[in-house]
Amino acid sequence: MTDMGSILLFLGVVAALGLYFLMTILVTFVDHFPMPRAMNFTNDRLSRCHHSYTKNKNRTNRKRKDLQTMKTELEVNTLKSFQTELTRFFLAYKFALQEVETKINILQEEFKLIHEYNPIEHVSTRVKSPKSILTKMMKKELPPSIEAVRENIRDIAGARITCSFVEDIYKVSAMLQAQHDMEVVEVKDYIANPKENGYQSLHLIIKIPIFMSDHMEKVYTEIQIRTIAMDFWASLEHKIYYKYNKEVPEHIRHELKEAALQAAELDRKIERLNKEINILKENEAEPSLLDSTPIAHLAKYLTELPGNQIIDDTLFKK
């Protein structure tokens, strides 16, 4: 019985040692030889899926980056195009005012030389600021487009002519309206029909042609013609109301209107005195023939020109 137990124990030890050596051999085999394809299939597929996912993700990122670049370039080009259009928009009004100023300057020079009298005391021009244009757009409920502004806001370019007397206003207006290259769109006579607050002036809404490098354009321009007294009242009235958005008290409006009526009365009185002086001049003895000739005035005018030089007539003698 004891011998049988010893034999079984011996066999168990041998079996354990055999199993140990078998496991050692299997581990060594796995380390030195690749696994069969069937066993590596799952790992290969996972690797390929990961590679494909990474590739698609990179491609998507590149597309997004390209789209973002295209969007940025489009925005830049759109902004440049709008900037060019806006620059042309304001340049047109600037050039229109230069055309108007040239016409007025010609009239002034002609009156000084031929008529010995200049009805124009002062000329000023301005182009409305973008803020003023935007305020008027909202007031008129215009769509936000340059074309809508161009057609519906006609005083972006403005010229103001200050005259000595009321009759001079209508003389200058008639001379400007007689120029064939200038289209008169509307005449607003606030002298014959003053505004409710007492404002007086003569307004001309015109279209004047300007010639750009690639096209001709007719630009709306407003010309205001008023006397010194009218301009004095209008300027001070504007200063009083400037940035005051509340309701103006009734007594202030009443006094401002009274001041406008007094300015109009002053215009009439000064104009009457001027006519009396002109009558007295006509009744005086006539001046010498030489002083009254246009040639004498022309000679005086030429000597006053900038850079004028006296020409020695001996240079023309043979």
Known catalytic residues? 222
Contact 81, 89 (CB under 8 A): no
Residue 91 to residue 33: CA distance in whole angstroms: 85
Calculate Rg over the CA atoms of the chain. 47
Contact 162, 123 (CB under 8 A): yes
